[in-house]
Every structure is written in structure tokens, then in C-alpha cells.
Amino acid sequence: MYCSTLALANFRNYVRLDLELSPDVTVVLGNNAQGKTNLLEAIYYLATTKSFRANSDRELLNWLISSDEAPFARLAAQVRRRSNNLRLEIVIHEDQRREAVLNGSVQYAVGKRIKVNGVAKRAMDLVGLVNVVMFSPEDIALIQGTPQIRRRYLDITISQVDPRYCRTLSHYNKVLLQRNHLLRQIRDHHSRPDQLTFWNEEIINAGAYITLRRLETIATLDELTRPIHRKLTGSQERLQIGCQLSLDQAKGAQGIPQMLAGMPSYAPQEQKLRLIADAFSEQLQTYQAREVLHGVSLLGPHRDDLVFRVEDRDMNLYGSRGQQRTIVLSLKLAETQFMRMQTGEEPILLLDDVLSELDPIRRAYVLDTVIGGRQVVITSSAEDALDVDFLSKANVLRVENGTIRCSV
């Protein structure tokens, strides 16, 4: 698949942009703060309905239009896939029916309208129609950052290839909010403990599927990442990727991954889900008094973490910056293979100014690995970081203050 056209209006520093993109390699050159990353962010947003760097959709609106009566941003693209072509559109706008007071001033909430081939859709209906893999220098936070960052990475990756996961995750988060509210009500003697029964069943069923898909995905990424990481480190390091489940930490006995591994390979998914659900149910009963005391759900996928180990050392804690960067690079290259295995389509690969941070050997390996058979959009503030022969074969664009022109 590839994005053939991209149109932006009032998005970040792009007041207006209409751009045709190559199905192969596009290199976007420009100084810092000119709009290179914004271009990748727009493609990523159209695929996932989320920004990989903004905390709020309001940040995506061009600041020059903030005083208009109805500030908005529009993103549109045409995407060509093997099976069919798509027209995607997302309009980010202020919803004047909802308002909030921020720093003493009234601000309207920001909403978005989504269309696929001209038909209105929900965000979860759009996710997965276009597959992207994003790699930026900030991705080192996958190793250095909080568990929430690593869970978000897993959720976005799996949601792109599994619509059921996306729907289940949305349901789980809503149930979690309701359950936490009820726990506080019980703690404050405004509700009865038996009212937890319904919400427990909901969170168990949704949580079991999320846990199973995460474990399956991590196992696949672990297998795909190992040979890439060995190549990048000259076979000097052995990387392992695993999942730290809150249920296993609470259980204190044989972990769920080990229990699943003990099942026959042909065991149906429902049997695996029941095993996880039973373990979840057992732990909720054990932890109920503690959860009521704290007024919060202490167990479940919202407390899981992704763990990276090299020679049995936790890289989240003990890895050097160089080791951590190499692990992220290996993971992202493996992610492109994972997407292809799951969907039969090559994902769009977005590389944001990462080549300049790599040594010549790793840079050459990345380019040899990702180039050919897929759409790749690479940004760089240093033209000399890219090989002259490579540039001669790519579609080169230059960006300056939100304006893009073809390089001559």
C-alpha cells in the first residue's frame, strides 16, 4: 500500500498543501522547525487517528487560525492498496457545544469528523485501513520511558492489524473508568460490593483478549527482532523481548505465558482466553479488598509492561543509550515484517531524521532493509547524511516554513 496524494489545510505550520507522493522512496530535506516532522505526523494521523507527539488534537491546529470563529484543520489522502483504493479525510474542529475553563478562559473542546470514501466513520473504523510504521529519535522513550508509553506502542501496533483488538481496547478503557468509579463509591459506603459483579465480568472478558493478543504479538516481535539485532550488533548481543503481566506479579506462581506454552499448539483461541480469564477472575477476588481501599483497579492490561533484556539484563534500567537506540531500531524494522505477515500488505514506513544519528554501518543496513517494495518517507536536516547515489534514485523534496517544493 502507499499514500499517493496528501492534502492539508491549517495543519500545524501547513496553511495549505497538496502533494503527490512517490510509491517508493521520498526524501524530505529542510532545516529544523520547517515542517518535515509535521508531514510525517499527518500521514501517521490519517492512519491511526492519533498523533505520535501531541498531547491534544488542539495542538494540531495552525496557531494563525486560533482566533477564527471556527478553527479547524483538514487532512485528506488517497491510499492505494492491493484490494482497493481509499479516500480518507479527517477534520479537526472546535465543538462549540462543549466548553471548559482553562487558566481562567473558556475554551471549546476539540472534536474530529472522519470519512472513508465519503462515508462518515468512527475512529476505530478507520484504524487498520492504512498501516504505518513510524520511527523517530524520540522512540528511545520506548526503552527509557514509562510503561504507559510501551503499552501505547503495543496498542497502536496491534490495533492496525486487528480490528477486534481496537474495539476491545476501547471497551476495556470505558469499563475501567466505570469500575474505578464504583470502587471509590464502595470505599465511601455509597455502593455495595456485589455491584462489582457485572463490571468484573466485563473487565475480565475484555482483558483476557487484550492480554492474549499482546502476548502473541510480543512473541512474534521477539522472534523477528533477534536476527536483526544480532546483525546490528555483530552477533555480540542477544536480545529478548517479553511482557510483564500484572496478573503474573499478583499470582506469584506459574506465569500465564508459561501456562499458555504448556497448551497444545492446536488449542483453540477460546480455550486460551478461558485460561487467562480464570486467572484474572481468581486474582480479582484476592485483590478486591485492596482495590476498594485504594479506589482503583490494581490488576489488568492497564498495568502491564514491555521488557527488553540483553544477556538477561533489563535494558529499561541498565542499557546504555547506544544499546537502547539499537534495540528500538531492531524493533521498528521487525515491526514492518510483522505488519506484512498480519495483513499481506507492506506498511508505509516513516523515518523522521533518524539516519543522521546512526553510524555508517547501521545506516547502510537500514536503507538496504527497508528500501524496495514499500513506500518510505525519510526526513533529514543533513543532506550529507544520505548517500549521493541513494538520493539520485529517490524523490527529493525540500520544505521551508510549511512550503514544499521538488528538488531540482
- Rg of the chain on CA atoms, in Å: 23
Report the C-alpha gap between 283 and 291 in whole angstroms: 11
Q: Which residue has the cell 482495590?
A: 291
- Kindly report the pTM of this predicted structure: 0.91
For residue 103, pLDDT beyond 60: no
pLDDT of 385 reads 77
Report the C-alpha gap between 110 and 99 in whole angstroms: 9
Per residue in 143-181, pLDDT (tens digit) is 999 999 999 999 999 999 999 999 999 999 999 999 999
pLDDT of 355 reads 80
Q: Taking residues 381-393, report their average pLDDT.
A: 83
Phi, psi of 406 (to 5 degrees): -75, 140
pLDDT of 87 reads 97
For residue 408, pLDDT beyond 70: no
Q: Taking residues 224-247, report their average pLDDT.
A: 90
Angle between helices 196-232 and 147-159 (to 10 degrees): 90
pLDDT of 109 reads 81
- Asked if 45 and 51 touch (Cβ cutoff 8 Å), the reply is yes
Per residue in 295-346, pLDDT (tens digit) is 999 999 999 999 999 988 999 888 888 889 899 999 999 999 999 999 999 9
Concatenated DSSP letters for 250-310? Answer: HH-SS-HHHHHHTS-TT--HHHHHHHHHHHHHHHHHHHHHHHHHHTS--SSGGG-EEEEEE
- Asked if 202 and 323 touch (Cβ cutoff 8 Å), the reply is no
pLDDT, averaged across the chain: 90
C-alpha closest to that of 74 among 33, 22, 15, 134? 15
- Asked if 160 and 340 touch (Cβ cutoff 8 Å), the reply is no
> What are the C-alpha distances in Å from 111 to residues 49, 61, 176, 237, 238?
12, 12, 23, 46, 45
Report the C-alpha gap between 51 and 61 in whole angstroms: 12
Domain chopping of the chain, boundaries: 141-344
Report the C-alpha gap between 326 and 362 in whole angstroms: 9
pLDDT of 247 reads 87
Indicate the CATH number for domain 141-344.
Answer: 1.20.1050.90
